[in-house]
Amino acid sequence: MLVSGDYAGVVALTRGRDLSEDGIASAIKEYGRTLTMPPDATFLKLEEVLITGSLPPRWHVTVDLWTVEEGRSDLSLLMWIAEPAPLADVVLLDIHVL
């Protein structure tokens, strides 16, 4: 959704918690490059940390974002993900430069 510019879809997925559509668009625009899908192997190397004592279990996940101009960029997506049935609960915490 980020790569395709569907920021409204991201907000719907996260139920509007933390980052707004304008906040997401602003963070990406300020970076000044064009997001692209990372190689599939990127999704096998996510930085994920279980948040101790969370119910349901919740992970803090960092995803490196990729751009057309740079490949792997300095931009990262930070989120919490929990897995209640039937859909994962996602909270987008930040999009920032490392």
Point out which residues pair with 63 in neighbouring strands. Answer: 77
- Chain segment 36-78, per-residue pLDDT in tens: 999 999 888 888 999 998 888 899 999 999 999 999 999 999 9
pTM of the model: 0.83
Residues 15, 47 contacting (CB under 8 angstroms) = no
The answer on pLDDT for 31 being more than 90 is yes
Mean per-residue pLDDT, 21-32? 92
The pLDDT, as a whole number, for residue 97 is 87
The answer on pLDDT for 32 being more than 90 is yes
* Vertex 49: Cα angle to 88 and 20 (nearest 5): 50
What mean pLDDT value characterizes the chain? 90
Give the number of other Cβ atoms within 10 Å of residue 96's Cβ.
Answer: 13
**Could you tell me which of 60, 52, 47 has the C-alpha nearest to residue 91?**
60
